Amino acid sequence: MSTGKAVLAPANIVKFLSHNDSFLLSPAGRMAIFDPQALRVLGFSELFFIKEPHDVTVMRKEAVILDCQARGEAPIDVRWLKNEVKVEVNERMYLLSNGSLYISEVESRRGDKSDEGLYQCLAHNKYGAILSQKARLTIASISSFALQPTSIVVTEGSVARFSCKVSAHPPPIITWEFNRITLPLTTERITVLPSGVLQIYGVSRADAGNYRCIATNIASRRRSSEATLTVTPGVSSITFLRNASPRLPQRPRIIAAPQNISVSLHQTAILECMATGNPRPIISWSRADSKSIDVYNTKVLGNGNLIISDIKPQHGGVYMCRATTPGTRNYTVASANVTVLASPSLVEWPESLTRPRAGTARFVCHAEGFPPPQITWLKNGEKVHSNGRIKMYSSKLVINQIIPEDDAIYQCQAESELGSVLSMARLIVVMSEDRPSAPRDIRAETVSSAAILLAWERPLYNSDKVIAYSVHYMKAQGLNNEEYQVVIGNDTTRYIIDDLDPACNYTFYVVAYMPMGASRMSDNVFQHTLEDVPLRAPELSLTSNSPRDIQVSWQPLPDKLSRGRVSAYRLCYRTSSESAVSQRELPGEKTKLLLENLHPDTIYLLRIAAATNVGWGEQSAWTSHRTPKASSARVPLAPELRLEPLNCTTISVRWQLAPQNSAGVQGFKLFYHEESQPERSPLQLRASDNAHTIGGLGESSVRDRLVPPPPPPHNVNARTNSSTAVYLQWGRPAFTSRHAVNYTVRCNPVGLQNASLVLYLQTNVQNLQVRGLEPNTKYEFAIRLHIDQLSSPWSPVVYQTTFPEAPSRPPSNVKVTLIEDDTALVSWKLPDEPNVAVTYYTILYASRKAWIAGEWQVLQREGEED
């Protein structure tokens, strides 16, 4: 029996050989069985765009043309959509002969009557239809000022700052006027930022006057209201007249800190930083991740603003502005995050396919960008919706039991707020009149917790033409389960599927294939896998109501861990000082147990195991709990707590006294703290209270209890680059998330005693060059990842030793003694420097003639010799 197996995930291509070598199993689940000489997938000469519309900004009442030109087999019909609704042509808006849309006068009326919106053209011919990328038509505008400059009073010699803000399309050019005269954009003292900020350093009395902001674009020009700059005499001027002491020093202070910004790829980012102090502070920039700032695309604008041009993904990160008093260690820091936005781009495109009727087609499409784009599938220009035959798994489109109507052009559209991009592929359905009938009498028999035997009878008609069978299976419970496929030869009608989950119900069907077609799918058959022992034990929660008891509770195991119905629990417990173990067995529906008649002030160790009808799973690790001390005083029993999360930062706490409580209660103390954090001071509550709401908690304090941490990075490799640098590389674990992933690298010499000397480095890529290490030293490295405020465990530690440091001095006491006419003895001593580790020496020698010609002979000798 020849078999080939594939799931709908990997993208490798496997040549599958049967008796007649006549079918191909391509990226898992995309199966076509045919004579390679008889069929071919056509290229896109059938229908394609040579021009598509692009974003455009125009003036009201102006004319505009939105390009659209399609080529392919005639006739081609072109239609236009605006905001996904068909555009009705009229005298003002109509199609040109090449398919482009012409608008003679752009209207900006409110509501649906405005011409602003997202436009797409749809081209159609006999092969199908394709949709163009989206293009946004924007009418140029400029609003009133959202922020007007305000009057200020500053001291002579200090700094002044005005700002204005206006919303406009396209973005306006900002200039400033002083007493109605335009100021230059940049001088030694004056800087105008494109964001609408005016900075003046070393203010003098001549700078006093009225300032206003001018915003200009193609739509209009707007002038802000005027703001007055009043300059008061500086301390040094006054003290000069009074013969007093000079102006006192002032610590640096940042008066305009950089702000978090999001910038599209290849655009320009400007981070403002303006500081004051005496003497005037020096402004410097650095990155929080200690990476060097790109000197080719970055420069300082004015007296400390950072401008990053042609921004790229590597420019993203936290930038820190530091204002330092010259010649001192007095400084202050402000920081801002630069987020680099990237339009969607495709990194894997769907491929055109030829498939027989009743076969399976699978298209794959991967896109990247920031924010991450959403994938939409189109069939002849219309959205594809999942149903029983057609399923979409993130970036994949799978069509099962192909019918003639599936012959169409399919497009993958990746879209975000920054734009859209499309790629197309054709599905050609091959028809065959003499295809076999469906396999008959499908039977399924459970073999184990992970295996089911499937058997069937050959088709009633044309069974002699069958060259292979494909077995399809998926979980029967739940929605949008992924379907798997196994291809086997025609020499058997039985197959064992052995990669199933325990205690799950599955559905199966079989399809028969011939060189030019496939049968219909067989009847579906359902079968359940057997139970298995639980994968792990529950986690225990332990409390004491009195000095002589322990309340033990646990949560039921989820289906993936229980691997069947839990029939029993076994709780084992003992004191920490004794080896004798007591145990209690409980029915599977129990989730708590009160252990009584225990010793006060004693440490108990407890663990639990769960069982299904198959057997017992592994026991949990021992968990310790100390019972309270006994007291002659009448102390209230601990109340029973009930917690309810109200939102991501608030928890409602309710409690109830135990019925057997006999002591008088004078009040309550409520203790709480975040996991792995120190305990907070308790809240004092009245005796009449039975509920309290705790707010202002970190989002993770609720969420982290519900969401497991991500797995750690794997395949960590370390390679020594030099005596002071080691290169690290690792793999990202297999999980999906829309949030950005960051990594922390931990580095320290082996055997380090001082924890404060451990080095922690952050990065958002899967490799890092760790620099500044000690030569000839063995280091240990570990890596953890962070995603949306969750952190993984540390990866396994890897070790690497740096190279010895190169000697800074040459060997000393070099002597050459001629022994014979053609033999000389060369001797030397170690370089005159401490702790030098020499691995080898290089000796250059030459005859006089060769020396004049620069031709040296090279000889090497192992180190530590002389």
**Which CATH superfamily is 714-801 part of?**
Immunoglobulins (2.60.40.10)
Task: Give the pLDDT confidence score for residue 679 in this predicted structure.
Answer: 66
CA dihedral 712, 713, 718, 721 (to 10 degrees): -120
Nearest to 422 by CA among 670, 90, 129: 129
CATH topology of domain 343-426: Immunoglobulin-like (2.60.40)
413 token code pair: 């559209």
Place of tokens 């499309």: 422
CA 502/CA 528 separation, integer angstroms: 8
CATH class of this structure's domain 47-139:
mainly beta
Task: Give the pLDDT confidence score for residue 726 in this predicted structure.
Answer: 94
Cα of first residue to Cα of last residue in the chain, in angstroms, is: 71
Regions of the chain where pLDDT drops below 50 = 1-43, 237-245, 699-706, 865-866
Nearest to 507 by CA among 487, 484, 486: 484
DSSP secondary structure of 430-494: EP-TTPPPPPEEEEEEE-SSS-EEEEEEPPSSSGGG--EEEEEEEESSSSSPPPEEEEEETT-SE
Nearest to 227 by CA among 172, 171, 154, 173: 154
CATH class of this structure's domain 249-342:
mainly beta
CATH number for the domain whose boundaries are 540-626: 2.60.40.10
User: Same topology for domains 144-247 and 640-705, yes or no?
Assistant: yes
Assess contact for 350 and 423: CB atoms under 8 A. yes
> How many C-beta neighbours within 10 Å does residue 793 have?
12
CA distances from 812 to 218, 807, 809, 838, 858 (A): 77, 12, 8, 13, 19
pTM for this one? 0.53
CA 411/CA 420 separation, integer angstroms: 12
Task: Give the pLDDT confidence score for residue 719 in this predicted structure.
Answer: 92
Task: Give the pLDDT confidence score for residue 736 in this predicted structure.
Answer: 58
Assess contact for 25 and 14: CB atoms under 8 A. yes
Task: Give the pLDDT confidence score for residue 45 in this predicted structure.
Answer: 63
CA 782/CA 748 separation, integer angstroms: 9
Domain ranges for the chain, please list them. Answer: 47-139, 144-247, 249-342, 343-426, 540-626, 640-705, 714-801, 812-862
Whether CATH 2.60.40.10 fits 640-705: yes
CATH class of this structure's domain 144-247:
mainly beta
Quick: pLDDT tens for 780-821: 999 988 887 677 888 888 999 988 887 878 888 888 877 666
CA 6/CA 383 separation, integer angstroms: 28
Task: Give the pLDDT confidence score for residue 480 in this predicted structure.
Answer: 63
